Amino acid sequence: MPLELIVISLMRTSKWINVLMLNTPEEDFGQLQSRRIDVSSDGIRWIERDFEQFTPLGKFFEINTNPEAGITVDKETSNATALKLRLVRINDAALEQETVNVGIEKLQLLLNESMACALHCTNCYNELVAERCFSSIRPVPVPTMEPLKYFSSKKRMTTAMDEGELYYAINYIVISPQSLGKGVLQCGGNIHCARCLQLVGESLGESLGEKLAAQLYVDTLWMAPGAQTGLPEGRLEKLFGQVTVSQLMLHLLQSAVPISDEKTRVFLKTVRPDGQLHYMLLLVDTNPLHMLRSKLSLIEDLNISSSPKDSDYDADASLTSNSDSSIESIVENSSDSDSDSDSDFTTDDSGPRAKRRRCGRRYESKPVHEVKVRGYRGCRLIYYMFSTDEELTANTKLIEQWRKEGTPMLRISYMMMMDLLRELTVNELLVATMERLIPNEKEGRVSYIIFEPDEDN
């Protein structure tokens, strides 16, 4: 069957690149025997009986094609082939030219100074902040800092926030304590709903007995808009729009805590609507990850024409698109299959065996379809997910270690954590196949986060 997807990953500190080629499982044994994969200095050729698919890589990399020193066939099954190719040189200029640059985008809050609204508890709809307008609505000035460090800093003069001010960030708002109504209960530094006791925020600093600011978690707030505002009633987090996994991760990395030159930590917390606590611990590799990826379904190009065609890259190639399930299925099948594929694998200097095969075949003209790849940046990480009381208890030692070593706990919404978990789970399957990893949950689960532009999601 034709090649459906090719994914290439590169850690800039590594001397190897990982290549994963996926195809639909082949039922015709004759077709399987006729398949051949050639690695040459200019790229990778996927050769079937009636056609050939060529992925040009020569402009990006100089590859050692010596089969004894430069190429390792890590895995080959009926629907997946994983290779490791040894790098001689990287053409940085060419790689950068074909790579999508994704930066941190500013959060957009669909609330302005002319709109009045009240804030209620999402659990029991008790009013926490009476209906009002805010005279100044701005993003948190220094998002890389914990809000407590900004709004209650010992290095600058701190005064209580003006009652009309509102600051916002990825999953919280900061307002004046004077804006809080009678529906809240303050206990120590925590702010609870006075009716159902849901934790809805925390106090940020105190000066001369006066609270300086109140941080409220967006996922605990229900917004009741005033008349003629045009805003829908519902969870306040909806006013932030859809935050993609790429943007969420880029924002979270601003608050990551370095533990060495190569690793940094992010500690995430969320509360499920039924009250169940979830923790996610991310150990992120600071060495940059580069990924090259083809469009999702290369078969479409083969169906369009039987002659060579130089088509533009189709930007719907996101691994987190609606086709996640198909990719996941292919990779899962490859991990369950026996490594008994009889397809040929050759290089441009693979010795007498390859030469005999080539000489034994009668020359036939085949259409060659070029497979274009697009570059992405990302990060490789190890993650732990604890979503039940039993898992939290069993991993208390690890959790306490991260806390004692100064890793701040960042609260995100439940939906954000589930989106992040889905992305990590899908990419975890790819990484396990590409890097030939044996899962070990005690040591954490290895995955990638790929930074994709919004139009790819």
Q: What is the pLDDT of residues 361-376, one digit of tens each?
A: 444 567 888 999 999 9
More confident residue, 318 or 43: 43
Q: What is the mean pLDDT of residues 336-351?
A: 49
User: Which own/partner pairs from 396-401 qualify as long-range (CB within 8 Å, at least 24 positions apart)?
Assistant: 398/281, 399/279, 399/281
Among residues 24, 21, 14, 23, the alpha carbon closest in space to that of 39 is found at 21
Q: What is the mean pLDDT of residues 205-219?
A: 83
Distances (CA, A) of 398 to 155, 280, 403, 404: 33, 12, 9, 10
More confident residue, 6 or 353: 6
Q: What is the mean pLDDT of residues 389-410?
A: 95
DSSP letters spanning 92-122 = HHHHHHTB----PPPP--S--TT--EEEEET
Whether the predicted pLDDT of 413 surpasses 90:
yes
Q: What does the alpha-carbon distance between residue 401 and residue 389 come to, in Å, rounded to a whole number?
A: 18
Whether the predicted pLDDT of 148 surpasses 70:
yes
What pLDDT shows up at residue 299? 56
Q: Which of 162-176, 200-214, 240-254, 404-418 has the lowest mean pLDDT?
A: 200-214
Tally of CA atoms within 13 A in the half-sphere of 38 that contains its CB: 19
Name the β-bridge partners of 61: 90
Centre a 10 Å sphere on the Cβ of residue 351 and count the other Cβ atoms it contains.
Answer: 11
Residue 456 phi, psi dihedral angles, 5° rounding: -85, -5
What pLDDT shows up at residue 155? 55
CB proximity list for 204: less than 8 A, separation 6 or greater: 147, 148, 151, 152, 174, 211, 212, 213, 214, 215
* Paired sense of beta strands 36-40 and 344-347, if any: parallel
Whether the predicted pLDDT of 284 surpasses 90:
yes
Q: What is the mean pLDDT of residues 436-441?
A: 78
Q: What is the mean pLDDT of residues 98-124?
A: 92
Whole-prediction pTM? 0.82
Collapse the DSSP code of 226 into the 3-class scheme (helix H, G, I; strand E, B; otherwise coil) and give the result. Answer: coil
The answer to whether 86 touches 41, Cβ cutoff 8 Å, is no
Q: What does the alpha-carbon distance between residue 398 and residue 384 come to, in Å, rounded to a whole number?
A: 10
What pLDDT shows up at residue 337? 47
Whether the predicted pLDDT of 347 surpasses 50:
yes
Whether the predicted pLDDT of 191 surpasses 90:
yes
Whether the predicted pLDDT of 411 surpasses 50:
yes
What pLDDT shows up at residue 374? 94
Q: Which amino acid is at 83?
A: L
CA 349 vs. chain centroid, Å, equals: 38
Looking at the chain, the whole-number percentage of residues with pLDDT higher than 90 is: 48
Whether the predicted pLDDT of 156 surpasses 80:
no
What pLDDT shows up at residue 32? 56
Residue 64: band (very low, low, confident or very high) from pLDDT cuts 50, 70, 90: confident
What pLDDT shows up at residue 302? 53
What pLDDT shows up at residue 328? 58
What pLDDT shows up at residue 457? 63
Collapse the DSSP code of 320 into the 3-class scheme (helix H, G, I; strand E, B; otherwise coil) and give the result. Answer: coil
More confident residue, 56 or 153: 56
DSSP letters spanning 173-184 = EEE-GGG--TTE
Residue 172 phi, psi dihedral angles, 5° rounding: -150, 160
Name the β-bridge partners of 320: none
What pLDDT shows up at residue 158? 60
- Give the pair of three-digit tokens for residue 198: 């849901």
* Paired sense of beta strands 210-211 and 36-40, if any: unpaired
Q: Please give the DSSP secondary-structure letter assigned to residue 260.
A: S
Among residues 105, 214, 34, the alpha carbon closest in space to that of 452 is found at 105
CB proximity list for 125: less than 8 A, separation 6 or greater: 222
Q: Which amino acid is at 244?
A: T
What pLDDT shows up at residue 332? 56
pLDDT tens-digit series, residues 378-394: 999 999 999 999 999 99
More confident residue, 79 or 362: 79
Residue 437: band (very low, low, confident or very high) from pLDDT cuts 50, 70, 90: confident
Whether the predicted pLDDT of 433 surpasses 90:
no
- Give the pair of three-digit tokens for residue 234: 């519902």
The answer to whether 117 touches 224, Cβ cutoff 8 Å, is yes
More confident residue, 323 or 146: 146
Q: Which amino acid is at 42?
A: D
What pLDDT shows up at residue 208? 64
Strands (E), 272-419: 277-285, 289-294, 344-347, 368-370, 373-386, 409-411
Residue 295: band (very low, low, confident or very high) from pLDDT cuts 50, 70, 90: confident
- Give the chain's domains with CATH numbers: 3-102+289-376 (no CATH), 117-239 (2.170.150), 242-288+378-456 (no CATH)
Residue 344: band (very low, low, confident or very high) from pLDDT cuts 50, 70, 90: low
The answer to whether 145 touches 408, Cβ cutoff 8 Å, is no
Among residues 3, 74, 9, the alpha carbon closest in space to that of 301 is found at 3
What pLDDT shows up at residue 159? 62
DSSP letters spanning 155-213 = TS---PPPTTEEEE-SSEEEE-GGG--TTEEEETTEEEETTT--EEEEE--EETTEE--
pLDDT tens-digit series, residues 13-38: 888 899 999 887 766 555 555 778 88
What pLDDT shows up at residue 313? 40
